[in-house]
Amino acid sequence: MALSSNLGYPRIGRQRQWKKHIEQYWAGRLDEEALHEELRLIRLEHLRKQQEAGIELIPVNDFSYYDQVLDTAVMLGVIPTRFDYAGGKVSTKLYYEIARGSKDQPASEMTKWFNTNYHYIVPELNDVKPQLTYNAPLEAFREARHELGVEGKPVIIGLYSFLKLAKGYRADETSQWIEKLLPLYVTILKELETEGATWVQFDEPALVTMITDEALEQLRYIYETLAKQAPSLRIILQTYFDSIERYEDIIQLPITAIGLDGVHGWEQNLSQLQAYGLPKNKWLAIGLIDGRNIWRTNLSEAGVKLDQLLHLVESERLIIQPSCSLLHVPVTAADEAKLPAEIKQVLAFADEKLDEVVQLTNRCEVLSEQWERNCIETVEAYAAFNHLEQRKQQQTITERLNELLEQGIARTASFNERYPLQLEKHQLPLLPTTTIGSFPQSAQVRAARSRWRKGDWTTEEYDTFIAEEINRWIEHQEQLGLDVLVHGEFERTDMVEFFGEKLGGFCFTTNGWVQSYGSRCVKPPIIYGDVTYRGPMTVKETVYAQARTTKPVKGMLTGPITIMNWSFTRQDIPKEAIAFQLAYALRQEVEALEKAGISIIQVDEPAVREGLPLKADAQARYLEASIAAFKLTTSVVKPDTQIHTHMCYCDFHDMIAAIREMDADVISIETSRSHGELIHSFEEQTYDLGIGLGVYDIHSPRVPAAEEMVELIERALQVLDSRLFWINPDCGLKTRGEEETIAALQQMIQATSIVREKLLSGVVHPS
Ligand code: GLN
Ligand code: ZN
């Protein structure tokens, strides 16, 4: 009999109770004991749900108070040395200080979990002395057995991936760290074995990225040791997010089961399975249900995959599961009462996916009538869904797109021809100053929006309020002496939702929350149909702002790749096609802005970097499509219209060439946390288009002094041409207070005057 399994369940709870309790604890409104009790109840409820769904291998130790990587570090005694820690069990207080910073110490760095929008806390090894502070998987195993009679499957982040995710050591010290940490893993396993656990899941997602010979040796050493020390445990070596590398070698490790993604990288995984087979004594755990998206599984298609697998493996050695932890999808589609039935019927969030897992597991044994009925029901649901008008626009869009692509999507003039025209037209000085787009979303702005949404205010009242905010901030910007102004984005909650609500092809859930980092959750829009342009989205506010000043006002759009990466996307057409539909729609907005007299337009692409696939060959294709989508969006304008873009949240030094190819007249890049590094990469690669490196960090309320910024600017001017250099903050200012924003911008303007003067008198040599 095949087994049904799950890799991890969302921890946030159906009503985001998890988030609320934790935040109350932080705010001092819930004491520690109550926090433990509340989270225990949530944890048990989740186990119960999986039990009731009929999942046989229920994950334990997948729950967390913040992040599973932080949990692993804390369990292994990997506490950054700047925190006071004398050994032993780590307190809840210290746990959250590492995640969020304390009065005296900065938090640990947070970064994206592979190619997802989930952020983990980066373990810092440096000179910590590892110790097993407590056996978390064992505790979780005991709790599940004791409270619910569940024989759980402990989930542990594998040592190989843990080290790949950690920092504070050199690559050539990896073996030493394995020596230090492996004994702790051995103890964890031995205790689990003694307790009577059967299955253990080691998450090793790093195995989908390149594995060197040396790394393979390390993996062999780790898993041989673990298998030898806890021989009766059945180890599942779990990979996800793409196809495994070096399958033929990995499968020889002394593990009981190999866990493969059966959705992302399915073809490669299947062909490796077919080429090398599965040793007779091993199990295959296959993720046939997409753990990264919110669509109901097409059961017939999954059944076909299953049949292919059943040629290679007997059902006795098959485990059916989601492609990855369900952490990346919302809890249940049952609460989405507001969506049209045709859409709701084809949604499957975590709970619905568990049912699908069970259905597929049963399908391994018999083609039951129930199965046939479920297949037919899925087919009918998708047929009704496909019947929606918005799903039938593709042909028209594609025809128009092909025409455009044939005409070419390059600007009509080269940068060297365009840029002087733009400077001239907008009367821009040396080192032009600007901001990234948003100004403070104050409590008043948020209150106004909620009044309007609730119907307490008419649209007219709300629009008047927004207009007044724009007025006020145009005045501030003029007084400050900025060169390129913005309207401030007061009408936007979120840079993706705002556009999604105005474009065709999007729908929005009521409760489709997903954890992004710590207690922060996001509710991504769903692109369910063809993206269509329904009319101007930003023209009114931008034109209103422009009418109030003689300085140029920069229009502000979110780019196609960012909108796509921060949404759940349809799966029946390639991602590229979605990106191009978005680009074509945004191109029409660019056109509309230009036609309305706006001649500087910024297209933000902060999320380009995070969508980068895990495999090198796919990366090149992705970048190529991203560049094309950006050019399609922006190339419609006249040479003297200036296109800006903005990127943030990530290290960009490995993609400067791709950014250059997007051919934006000006880019602003966040550098607050990596200024030095980025400047370094410009030493090696020239950047010969307009560029602004953020000169101060907007993530902190601190107002930096002009001198600090002068220093940063001068450092940048050693590697970048001063005639192409722009001065701006790091990112949008929407999270900042009004006073500190104005104060910081004053300093920025002052810093600019100082450097301009030096440049004009020849003290700093322009490069
Ligand atoms: N224009 C946006 C803003 O200023 C950019 C936001 C972002 O980079 N994430 O808020
Ligand atoms: Zn930004």
CA 735 to centroid of ligand 2, rounded, Å: 11
CA 106 to centroid of ligand 1, rounded, Å: 24
Q: Is the CB–ligand 1 distance for residue 495 below 6 Å?
A: yes
Task: Quote the CA–CA distance of 531 and 386 in Å, as a whole number.
Answer: 14
Residue 34 pLDDT class (50, 70, 90 cuts): very high
For the cut 80, the answer to whether the pLDDT of residue 649 exceeds it is no
Ligand 1 atom having least distance to the Cα of 437: 4
My answer on whether 564 and 631 are in the same domain is: yes
Q: Is the CB–ligand 1 distance for residue 648 below 6 Å?
A: yes
C-alpha Rg value of the chain to the nearest Å: 27
My answer on whether 340 and 430 are in the same domain is: no
For the cut 80, the answer to whether the pLDDT of residue 325 exceeds it is yes
My answer on whether 371 and 489 are in the same domain is: no
Is residue 376 in some structural domain?
yes
Ligand 1 atom having least distance to the Cα of 646: 8
Q: How many Cα atoms sit within 13 Å of 481 on the Cβ side?
A: 12
The domain total for the chain is 2
My answer on whether 324 and 222 are in the same domain is: yes
CA 766 to centroid of ligand 2, rounded, Å: 27
Q: Tokens representing 545?
A: 């702002």
Let me know: does 556 contact 486? Beta carbons within 8 Å: yes
Let me know: does 665 contact 419? Beta carbons within 8 Å: yes
Of 39-53, 533-547, 697-711, 729-743, which gets the smallest average pLDDT? 697-711
Q: Is the CB–ligand 1 distance for residue 646 below 6 Å?
A: yes
Q: Is the CB–ligand 1 distance for residue 436 below 6 Å?
A: yes
CA 562 to centroid of ligand 1, rounded, Å: 11
Is residue 17 in some structural domain?
yes
Q: Is the CB–ligand 1 distance for residue 604 below 6 Å?
A: yes
The boundaries of the domain holding residue 129 are 3-357+366-386
Is residue 229 in some structural domain?
yes
Q: Which ligand is nearest to the CA of 672?
A: 2
My answer on whether 606 and 546 are in the same domain is: yes
Model pLDDT, residue 106 = 83
CATH number for the domain spanning 645: value is 3.20.20.210
Ligand 1 atom having least distance to the Cα of 734: 10
Model pLDDT, residue 681 = 81
- All residues at 6 or more sequence positions from 174 whose CB lies less than 8 Å from its CB, including other chains: 163, 218
Model pLDDT, residue 604 = 98
My answer on whether 347 and 494 are in the same domain is: no
- Given ligand 1 and candidates 484, 731, 733, which is best to mutate, with the most ligand atoms within 8 Å of its CB? 731
- Given ligand 1 and candidates 434, 493, 646, which is best to mutate, with the most ligand atoms within 8 Å of its CB? 646
- For 163-192, the pLDDT digits (tens) are 999 999 999 999 999 999 999 999 999 999
Model pLDDT, residue 687 = 92
Model pLDDT, residue 764 = 65
Q: Is the CB–ligand 1 distance for residue 606 below 6 Å?
A: yes
Model pLDDT, residue 110 = 87
Ligand 1 atom having least distance to the Cα of 558: 1
Residues marked active site are found at 699
Averaged over 420-445, what is the pLDDT? 97
For the cut 60, the answer to whether the pLDDT of residue 674 exceeds it is no
Task: Quote the CA–CA distance of 134 and 41 in Å, as a whole number.
Answer: 21
CA 436 to centroid of ligand 2, rounded, Å: 7
Ligand 1 atom 3 nearest Cα: 732
Q: Is the CB–ligand 1 distance for residue 732 below 6 Å?
A: yes
C-alpha triplet 330, 332, 337: angle, nearest 5°: 110
Is residue 741 in some structural domain?
yes
Pairing verdict, β 59-60 and 514-517:
unpaired
Q: Is the CB–ligand 1 distance for residue 665 below 6 Å?
A: no
- For 440-462, the pLDDT digits (tens) are 999 999 999 999 999 999 999 99
Is residue 459 in some structural domain?
no
- Please give the distance of CA 41 from its chain centroid, rounded to a whole number: 29
- For 58-85, the pLDDT digits (tens) are 999 999 999 999 999 999 999 999 999 9
Ligand 1 atom having least distance to the Cα of 670: 8
Is residue 241 left, alpha or beta, with left meaning phi > 0 and alpha meaning psi from -120 to 50? Answer: left
Q: Which ligand is nearest to the CA of 741?
A: 1
Q: Is the CB–ligand 1 distance for residue 731 below 6 Å?
A: yes
- Given ligand 1 and candidates 604, 649, 699, which is best to mutate, with the most ligand atoms within 8 Å of its CB? 604
Ligand 1 atom 9 nearest Cα: 606
My answer on whether 143 and 164 are in the same domain is: yes
Ligand 1 atom 5 nearest Cα: 732
CA 600 to centroid of ligand 1, rounded, Å: 16
My answer on whether 684 and 707 are in the same domain is: yes
For the cut 60, the answer to whether the pLDDT of residue 332 exceeds it is yes
Q: How many Cα atoms sit within 13 Å of 428 on the Cβ side?
A: 28
Residue 112 pLDDT class (50, 70, 90 cuts): confident
Of 320-329, 394-403, 433-442, 562-571, which gets the smallest average pLDDT? 394-403
Q: Is the CB–ligand 1 distance for residue 734 below 6 Å?
A: yes
- Given ligand 1 and candidates 495, 516, 745, which is best to mutate, with the most ligand atoms within 8 Å of its CB? 495
Nearest to 11 by CA among 273, 327, 316: 327
CA 475 to centroid of ligand 2, rounded, Å: 23
Averaged over 265-279, what is the pLDDT? 98
My answer on whether 242 and 335 are in the same domain is: yes
Buried b (16+ CB within 10 A) or exposed e, 116-149: bbbbbbbbbbeebebebbebbbbebbbbbbeeee
Q: Is the CB–ligand 1 distance for residue 437 below 6 Å?
A: yes
My answer on whether 264 and 173 are in the same domain is: yes
My answer on whether 242 and 305 are in the same domain is: yes
Q: Which residue has the tokens 């073809």?
A: 267
Query: What is the helix (H) or strand (E) element at residue 59, kind and residue range?
Result: strand 59-60
Ligand 1 atom 10 nearest Cα: 732
For the cut 90, the answer to whether the pLDDT of residue 682 exceeds it is no
Averaged over 139-160, what is the pLDDT? 98
Q: Which ligand is nearest to the CA of 694?
A: 2
Nearest to 69 by CA among 240, 168, 203, 169: 203
Is residue 194 in some structural domain?
yes
CA 693 to centroid of ligand 1, rounded, Å: 15
Ligand 1 atom having least distance to the Cα of 492: 10
Q: Which ligand is nearest to the CA of 692?
A: 2
My answer on whether 335 and 484 are in the same domain is: no
CA 630 to centroid of ligand 2, rounded, Å: 17
Q: Which ligand is nearest to the CA of 434?
A: 1
Q: Calculate the CA dihedral of residues 270, 275, 280, 286 and round it to 10 degrees.
A: -10
Is residue 416 in some structural domain?
no
CA 568 to centroid of ligand 1, rounded, Å: 20
Task: Quote the CA–CA distance of 175 and 191 in Å, as a whole number.
Answer: 24
Residue 648 pLDDT class (50, 70, 90 cuts): confident
pTM value is 0.95
CA 688 to centroid of ligand 2, rounded, Å: 21
Model pLDDT, residue 765 = 62
Q: Which ligand is nearest to the CA of 496?
A: 1
Q: Calculate the CA dihedral of residues 289, 185, 138, 279 and round it to 10 degrees.
A: 40
Ligand 1 atom having least distance to the Cα of 732: 4
Model pLDDT, residue 672 = 62
Is residue 462 in some structural domain?
no
Ligand 1 atom 4 nearest Cα: 732
Q: Tokens representing 181?
A: 């940490």
Model pLDDT, residue 670 = 84
